[in-house]
Amino acid sequence: MHTQTFSILSVALVISLGALTPGSAAFAAKHTKAKPAASKPAAAKKSAAATDALPALPAQVALAPNAPALQSKAWLLMDFDSGEVLASANADEALPPASLTKMMTSYIVEQALRSGKLKPTDLVTISENAWCRGTSAESCMYLPLGSQATVIDILRGIIIQSGNDASKAIAEHMASSEAGFAKLMNAEAQRLGMTHTHFVNPTGLPDPAHKSSARDLAILARAIIKDGAEYYALYAERDFKYNGIKQGNRNALLYTDPTVDGLKTGHTAEAGYCLVTSSKRNDMRLISVILNTHSAKARADQTRTLLGWGFGSFEKVTPIAANAVVATAKVNFGKADTVAAGLSTPWMLTVPRGTPVQTAVELKPGLEAPIAKGAVIGKVVAASNGKPVGEAPLEAQADVERSGWLLRGWQHFVKLFGK
């Protein structure tokens, strides 16, 4: 009965967008029981919040005018499709990521599920090290000591409830220990190009050597969405019930913005309040990162501001339609002298609104048959105001067979004498 009361209170706090800490549901319940006389007047609370707020940090990189200045130690906005950073400040500063760490933990689990190394129904045993003792010091899924839970429940506990117990348990299951799992995390971070990241544990609990950056966390978020589509819907789930305890997702934007479908919150005293968010409006998906701001409300408000600027300042353009013939490439020693070059898939770019885009074609020189349909034979480069903004491969739109020896001999002769 005690834990059920905690769960109801924690969900209520999330929905009301209160400053919910990453501690357990018990922490929320404990503090809601405080006597009214002990609470500060509204004016005092506002004054304290203003004192705690960081100075506004303006954009150091911005691809469109009027980028916001945000009260955090680092922030970033990325275009999902291209991976291009649209605006940022302190993007590469290594900071404590708190529970944003669990994005890597969940990503590794998802990739193991996709490869077959793990199955959703595999059972994970909860060791004494993984077990949460019901304190207010950490977020918990409340897995009983010595019990077993399925991998898919563990994954939900990591993503939705930010469970430290779930994260530790899967780390031990996959790599025998948290330290062993951290090696997997760091190897994956290196593979993804997260150059300012070092993980020590699967939870994000404080450690001087445990760091990541806004850019790296955006790279990780993009990989989660791209590589684990069958599991990405979990990041949008608002609550999860396990062991009779229902807890709400701490991402307040999931309750207020239907375009937001992930990803993760984080908070410790050292890391401040952090949030990585993905939002899709029409054909555009943006990823935002807020690191080390002063409250749960601030991280949500700053994310809204950043996403609002991004969607208002940029648009998707299609420089060239898929399957359109872009150029004709000369082919040597083929039954046909040329082959059409075009795009096999849709090509969309994210550019500042109203920006004209020009394209230039670059074909590979000295193409020789045989050439298979779909082979890359060049590329098309897009530029805006003289600056490259993207490129796409040009593919052969048909097969070109190699000519017979007699015709090939004639073609060699013609090529040799330039006739």
Give residue-wise pLDDT tens across range 12-53.
Answer: 333 343 333 333 333 333 333 333 333 444 444 443 444 467
Which token pair is 300? Answer: 């949500």
Per-residue confidence (pLDDT) for residue 333, from 0 to 100: 84
Which token pair is 287? Answer: 């990823």
Q: Is the dihedral of CA 298, 300, 301, 306 positive or negative?
A: positive
E-only strand ranges, 294-417: 314-317, 325-330, 338-342, 349-352, 358-363, 376-384, 387-396
* Residues paired with 77 in a beta bridge: 87, 288
Establish whether domains 2-39+89-257 and 325-417 are of one fold. no
Q: Is the pLDDT of residue 224 over 70?
A: yes
Span 207-222, pLDDT tens digits? 999 999 999 999 999 9
Q: Is the pLDDT of residue 347 over 80?
A: yes
| Across 374-386, average pLDDT | 92
CA pair distance 278, 236, nearest whole angstrom: 10
Per-residue confidence (pLDDT) for residue 42, from 0 to 100: 45
Q: Is the dihedral of CA 41, 43, 47, 50 positive or negative?
A: positive
Question: What percentage of the chain reaches a pLDDT higher than 70?
Answer: 83
333 touches 318 (CB < 8 A)? no
pTM above 0.85, yes or no: no
DSSP 8-class letter at 143: P
Which token pair is 216? Answer: 């790296």
Backbone angles phi, psi at 275, to 5 degrees: -155, 130
Per-residue confidence (pLDDT) for residue 418, from 0 to 100: 58
Which homologous superfamily does the CATH classification assign to the domain defined by 2-39+89-257?
Answer: DD-peptidase/beta-lactamase superfamily (3.40.710.10)
CA pair distance 146, 96, nearest whole angstrom: 31
Q: Which H or E element spans position 273? A: strand 272-281
CATH 3.30.300.100 for domain 325-417? no
Residue matched to tokens 């500042």:
352
Q: Which of 1-15, 131-145, 166-180 has the lowest mean pLDDT?
A: 1-15
Backbone angles phi, psi at 102, to 5 degrees: -65, -15
Burial status of residue 258 (CB atoms within 10 A of its CB: 0-12, 13-18, 19 or more)? exposed
Q: Is the pLDDT of residue 7 over 90?
A: no
Q: Is the pLDDT of residue 412 over 90?
A: no
Q: How confident is the model at residue 153 (pLDDT cuts 50, 70, 90)?
A: very high
E-only strand ranges, 114-205: 123-125, 148-150
CA pair distance 251, 276, nearest whole angstrom: 9
Q: Is the pLDDT of residue 169 over 90?
A: yes
Per-residue confidence (pLDDT) for residue 249, from 0 to 100: 94
Q: Is the pLDDT of residue 408 over 80?
A: no
Catalytic residues: 99, 102, 162
Query: In the chain, where are the structural domains located?
Result: 2-39+89-257, 325-417
